[in-house]
Structure 1
Amino acid sequence: MQTEYRQRREQLMAKIGNGTGIFRSAPMAVMHNDVEYVYRQDSDFFYLTGFNEPEAVAVLAPHHSEHRFILFVQPKDLEKEVWTGYRCGVDAAKEIYGADAAYPIHELDEKLPQYLEKADRIYYHLGRDRSFNETILTHYQKLLRTYPKRGTGPIGIEDPGPILHSMRLIKSEGELALMRKAADIAIEAHNHALQVTAPGRYEYEIQAEMEHIFRLRGAMGPAYPSIVASGANACVLHYIENNRQMQSKDLLLIDAGCAYEYYNSDITRTFPVGGKFTPEQKALYEIVLEAQKQAIAQVKPGNSFHAPHEQAVRILTTGLVELGLLKGDIDTLITEEKYKPFYMHRTSHWLGLDVHDAGAYQHGEHPQTLQPGQVLTIEPGIYIVPATKPPEDQPEIDPRWLGIGIRIEDDVLVTPQGHEVLTAGVPKEVQEVERF
């Protein structure tokens, strides 16, 4: 992978020209008191370096005569490493990660100016690390004051995100191999969940069964807090309590994926706990399944990113009208967004190093065009929230529909010919998810 990290840096440096890029590692997150969460590197930092330690800064200086890639890292400290784990150190930062120069992190203020004084701008994201923001702004302001004497130096700060995130949108073969692995592990976990779910079991038991498979198969763990939502809990989009005992007439909505070497999968399936849909559950499920299939069909090069969502909304709205949950002209209902009490989220998001991955969905008035190498989710749903109050011109909701929540989600790769569903190995046809 070091070759690929180097290629990414070279590609970014070609785009920033005479600028200097500065990237800060993610901070350690505290769980409680002095106990920390397992460390997770900032995705942009990892994408460019593969370096997985805190308290680090990467500098890209394409204009520098000797050092184009510079790392500032924690120095070796055997006493601290006994407590908190091994550190790469300065020497290995060059040997392993290919830095042209490496320094202890405490030398940042001393060494950084030499990589800024010939740059025409600084590429840096002013994020939530206020202290480091001030460090960069202090260097920038100092160089601005001396600019008249030297005639060189940065005259602006620009966020590198729009450039870097457009790169991250297109996945390499190496990245896709990791995403396929993450998908395969999550497929196994979802298929296992379908087999072991039964009335009387608790949501957290199914969560545990799935997350056991994640770790057993080498994943870092869940890609996000697993959603295991039975009954009306499925109408809460980000339900994570997972503590209800499941009943025979419930549906179970599971939205769970894993992270494998930093790359993520994201799958949702909904199926009957007792093995058979009720008539109402089946009717809504078939609408969502058809919406998902037709949305996936819209994933192909040249189509708008919004095309799958627009298709899903049309199918869902039409189905809701046919069931009497909405009334009126389909086009008018869509234009006036009358479907939103039942379908309140978008159909897709990018997927990769982040679950909601980096990359623009729209450029001004123009939506992103789908291109080979992009990976996105397709996840329509219908949620008949018990407290839903339909608009005044819409019918009251018959109680038999209340508390039904359904979502079906797959991870889809845009290919030169169309698309590939990376998570197709999890059943979703009615006859496949009904077990009796």
Structure 2
Amino acid sequence: MTHPPRLRRLAPLALAALLAAAAPAGAQVAQAEFAARRAALMDALPDGVLLALGNGEPNPDFIPFHQHPHFFYLTGFDEPGGALVIVKRGGERRELLFVRPGNPAEEVWTGARLGVPGVKATTGMEGRDASVLRAVLDSILQATPTLFVLGDLGARMTERSVHDQFVDALAAGNPSVKVDQAAARRAITLLRGRKSPAELERIRLASEISARGHVDAWRLVQPGIAEFELQAAAEGRWRAEGADGPSYGTIVGSGPNSTTLHYNRNDRIAQAGEVIVMDMAAYFDGYAADITRTVPVSGRFSAEQRAVYEVVLNAQKAAERQVRVDGPSRAMNDSANAVIAAGLTALGLIESPTATYDCGSAQQPRTCPQTFLYYMHGLGHGIGLLVHDPDQYSATGRIQVGSAFTIEPGIYVRGNLLDILADTPRNRELKARIGPAVRRYANIGVRIEDDFLVTEAGVLRPSQGVPREIDEIERLLAQPRAPRDPAVAARYKRMKSGR
């Protein structure tokens, strides 16, 4: 990700001030840290007005509310309908937090609100009623005609979001105002990429809780188990430990489902001789973890499953060895990719580490690395307020203190791989060569994902509480299975079949 030169010059100063105000590890994120985040963001912007919009009520069905991450990062305010306005003019700043007023008739349904009187003590900012947001902005923009905006903007393919509609109306009513939706987003993305000690602590706790949920689910793994039973075991453990719930849609894919990256129906009955990919993690105190493990349904890996698993594990470890402060982030990808390419070649699934295949169409012919047939996603991503959060190394190319990210290589041998390749002379030749290996390893999907935190004390892997070594996995699966009601899966099968 590129950033304007001005942001690159200001960012180190802004980040230094932000970290100086950060809460110590183990503490809740302090009011002073939120204030420092706002100051760091405004230091990266010229004079103007910042408008950060919080999310509204999710919908009339009372599903759980989740705050917009940019807004929460700047305010810590976790109620619907909020907005932050910061005016920067001639070195002076004024901060206003707009919130919904108290309303006992509505609060009986959705809970107590902070209300305008509680804003100052809770956030340190001046509170205003959300109903006057438009009028206040119209007045402010007369003297400061540059508006920087953060929110749910331009993200929807088929409709304008509520945030888009508000900004559109604001711009139409103030035609002399310059609306900039990019500068603040670039700046806050850079800031959010470097986590404070308090943020790293939240992610560590989320990861450790997630690992214990994985282990609870593993204790149920056996032929005949339903994918949703494993999901329920993990998510129940997280809630029992105070987590807010899953940090994303839980993925439990057995057999052929293990080769679908974002499979989340979780309604299949696992069979003997298969593997299960469990990509699932908790959301704790506003921060997300992300962990994936692959285990054998029968308790022991077959020779084919073991061979694929070892390639993926070695790729993850190769990337992990490159994690060090000020190390180039590209080295993680290069190391993992080299291991996977060599491993797929040894398994007979590709012709050579650098071989290609025809991946385009007759109208747009092109070639792709053969490794893409089995490993088609990135090595990892940042974690934080979102499970796919801004990461520091995308902006700088270096791993720094405050980085929080995943490493998650995978290999997915789809059962229909030979059928979906484009019918070209090159691909027909390729299918003849790799066909036996594809049939041998068909429906084996393996992904291994851990969380990594780069702290002043060193690099942590807080997800290590869930085993990843083959002998450790098989040893845990050899223990007596946890109690379960086998009638659950049988009853589900009858209901689905209509009997």
Consecutive unaligned residues in structure 1, runs of 5 or more? 146-153
Q: Contact 2:274–2:298 (CA<8 Å) still a contact in 1? A: yes
Instruction: Give distance in 2, aligned partners of 1:265 and 1:6.
Output: 25
Shift in Å, 1:305: 3.0
Shift in Å, 1:140: 4.1
Deviations along 1:42-101, one digit per CA (max 9) or x if unpaired, are 0111111111111111111233898621011111111111122211111112221211x2
Confirm or deny that 1:5 pairs with 2:18. Answer: no
Deviations along 1:150-174, one digit per CA (max 9) or x if unpaired, are xxxx545242111011010011011
**Letter aligned with residue 350 of structure 1:** G
Aligned length: 420
Confirm or deny that 1:296 pairs with 2:325. Answer: no
Change (3 A) 1:392 1:416: farther
Deviations along 1:186-211, one digit per CA (max 9) or x if unpaired, are 01111222222111211111110100
Match of 1:25 among 40, 45, 54: 54
**How do residues 343-382 of structure 1 correspond to structure 2 at under 5 angstroms?**
343-359=375-391, 362=394, 368-382=397-411
Q: Please name the residue that 1:73 is paired with.
A: 99
Change (3 A) 1:234 1:387: same
Q: Secondary structure at the match of 2:56?
A: coil
Instruction: Give distance in 1, aligned partners of 2:356 and 2:399.
Output: 27
Change (3 A) 1:65 1:402: closer
Instruction: Give distance in 2, aligned partners of 1:60 and 1:393.
Output: 63
Q: Secondary structure at the match of 1:35?
A: coil
Deviations along 1:88-121, one digit per CA (max 9) or x if unpaired, are 111112221211x222111112212343344362
Match of 2:297 among 262, 265, 273: 273
Q: Secondary structure at the match of 1:176?
A: helix
**Letter aligned with residue 453 of structure 2:** L
Change (3 A) 1:15 1:84: same
Confirm or deny that 1:157 pairs with 2:167. Answer: no
TM-score w.r.t. the length of structure 1 is 0.90
**How do residues 164-243 of structure 1 correspond to structure 2 at under 5 angstroms?**
164-243=188-267
Farther off after superposition, 117-126 or 307-316: 117-126
% of aligned pairs identical? 34
Instruction: Give distance in 1, aligned partners of 2:42 and 2:281.
Output: 34
Deviations along 1:312-335, one digit per CA (max 9) or x if unpaired, are 11101101111111113x245599
Change (3 A) 1:114 1:359: farther
Q: Contact 1:12–1:164 (CA<8 Å) still a contact in 2? A: yes
Instruction: Give distance in 2, aligned partners of 1:130 and 1:257.
Output: 29
Farther off after superposition, 135-144 or 238-247: 135-144
Farther off after superposition, 372-381 or 108-117: 108-117
Q: Secondary structure at the match of 1:124?
A: strand
Consecutive unaligned residues in structure 2, runs of 5 or more? 1-29, 358-366, 422-426, 479-499
Deviations along 1:257-291, one digit per CA (max 9) or x if unpaired, are 00001101100001111111110000111111000
Match of 2:83 among 57, 66, 75: 57
Shift in Å, 1:130: 4.0
Change (3 A) 1:63 1:307: same
**Letter aligned with residue 192 of structure 2:** R
Shift in Å, 1:297: 1.3
Confirm or deny that 1:16 pairs with 2:45. Answer: yes
**How do residues 90-105 of structure 1 correspond to structure 2 at under 5 angstroms?**
90-99=116-125, 101-105=126-130
Q: Please name the residue that 1:87 is paired with.
A: 113
Structure that is richer in helix per residue: 2
Q: Contact 1:194–1:433 (CA<8 Å) still a contact in 2? A: no
CA RMSD of aligned residues (A): 2.3
TM-score w.r.t. the length of structure 2 is 0.79
